Structure 1
């Protein structure tokens, strides 16, 4: 029953909350759809933390998409064998993962150590920062340490197959039985952040200013008192 809850019920509950929560907040609470920037309070740590986090998390995200959603046979068919995939996933992925971890650490340290920033932070802001830091840390640990100490484990034959079955409404909780604890924690924490997403500042991810580069300039003219 615990496996069914962790690997079937909880993921579907998180996905449903993610979708329905976004729809509800967009329709009834658009005025709070903001990143609540605290740049005017402190800029240096925010600059480097945000830069490292965003430059790292985007490649990490697409790496997860490929690793989890694209079957190994498909990659092999286009010439990406297991050795080449391993080099990209472990070595290149680790570089961007560590970059994301350092950025997230700076952002979390800034939020908790700067009294003015902490005062403006809500409980959800702090929770999101700590949970994201944990997700990135345990992900890096699983990639760099667990993969080395358990060479027989292949997440593409377990976690990837499980997640694809989950999305196709054919979940198999048994696939997660042999998965190492660090990977399990990474997966569960990931679904937890998806569940919290619609009710936190993370919604600002969907408000990408795509028209920023093409919009008209705002003109400021000096007012004459004469």
Structure 2
């Protein structure tokens, strides 16, 4: 963006740091998959407590998926495209505040319930590591920063539109031509949100969040699990039901006497 002053910190934060984070995410994920496949899990605690988990987990996961879709629309789709389809700036902001706000609040409420459950349920709390606590701090901070930027961008008209600053910078990262000037012109709240998100992604492969990279698509194609099968020697449908109990051992004495004791 023209007119923005670029300093050494802008170059380091918006031109160098994103690639450092990408290297850590890719390298860390490969390392984790090769050397810690047994740890590639959420370490489910459903056996310890399920009543609160049934509410909190869907609330958080569906909320975070809606937040992800909102970020894809805001960061990847250029402003010129939405203008072409007749989406005005006011319409876009109303949608961002309404849908994004609901999704963000649902995500925040879900993770708050998960943290409360983890803190108040003894076995779950005992299974919580320092790594988990650090992950929760970064995750909650990123959600709060995202909600703050949404509200500020809608009500504070002095803040530069992020679709003219953050979005071009984000797209430029993937073509290896980082638009440092665009990100340098963004508002402070957006810079805080981006830095917090980069910190979260940097630790992502080394926490239980890594399970998000594993999509269980094979569940749709795996065969049915057979728990018991019919035995032809016991008869099929319509035959006399077999009496429950232990099967005869079949010793020579039983075979000669027809199963009766002398």
TM-score (norm 2): 0.79
Q: Which residue among 115, 123, 127 is the counterpart of 2:122?
A: 115
**Would you say 1:89 and 2:110 are equivalent positions?**
no
Q: Specify whether residues 165 and 59 from structure 1 end up closer, same or farther in structure 2 by C-alpha distance, changes over 3 A only.
A: same
Q: Deviations over 1:168-217 (max 9, x none)?
A: 21113232334232221211111111111111111211222223244333
Q: Give the alignment's Cα RMSD to 1 decimal.
A: 2.1
Q: Distance in 2 between matches of 1:205 and 1:188?
A: 21
- For residue 77 of structure 1, what is the aligned residue in structure 2? 84
1:121 positional shift: 1.4
Q: Contact 2:93 / 2:154 at 8 angstroms: preserved in 1?
A: no
Q: Distance in 2 between the 1:206 and 1:176 partners?
A: 28
Structure 1: stretches of 5+ with no match in the other structure? none
Residue equivalent to 2:193: 186
Pairwise CA distance, 1:224: 5.1
Whether 2:64 is the aligned partner of 1:43: answer no
Structure 1 residue 166: Cα displacement: 1.8
Verify: 1:26 aligned to 2:33, yes or no: yes
Higher helix share: 1
Does structure 2 conserve the Cα–Cα contact (< 8 Å) formed by 1:108 and 1:130?
Answer: no
Measure the CA separation in 2 of the matches of 1:151 and 1:110.
41
User: How many residues align structurally?
Assistant: 226
Q: Deviations over 1:77-109 (max 9, x none)?
A: 233332332222221111111111111111122
Go from structure 1 to structure 2 and tell me whether the alpha carbon gap of 1:207 and 1:32 turns closer, same or farther (over 3 Å shift): same
* Contact 1:147-1:153 at 8 Å conserved across structures: no
Structure of higher CA gyration radius: 2
Q: Which runs of 5+ in 2 are unaligned?
A: 1-7, 230-243, 248-262
Q: 1:156 aligns with which of 163, 169, 174?
A: 163
State the distance in 2 between where 1:123 and 1:155 align.
35
TM-score (ref. length: structure 1): 0.90
CA distance in 1, matches of 2:246, 2:216: 37
- The answer on whether the counterparts of 2:59 and 2:109 sit within 8 Å (CA) in structure 1 is yes
Counterpart contact for 1:108–1:133, Cα < 8 Å: no
Look up the match of 2:67. Answer: 60
Q: Deviations over 1:29-52 (max 9, x none)?
A: 212111100111122222222111
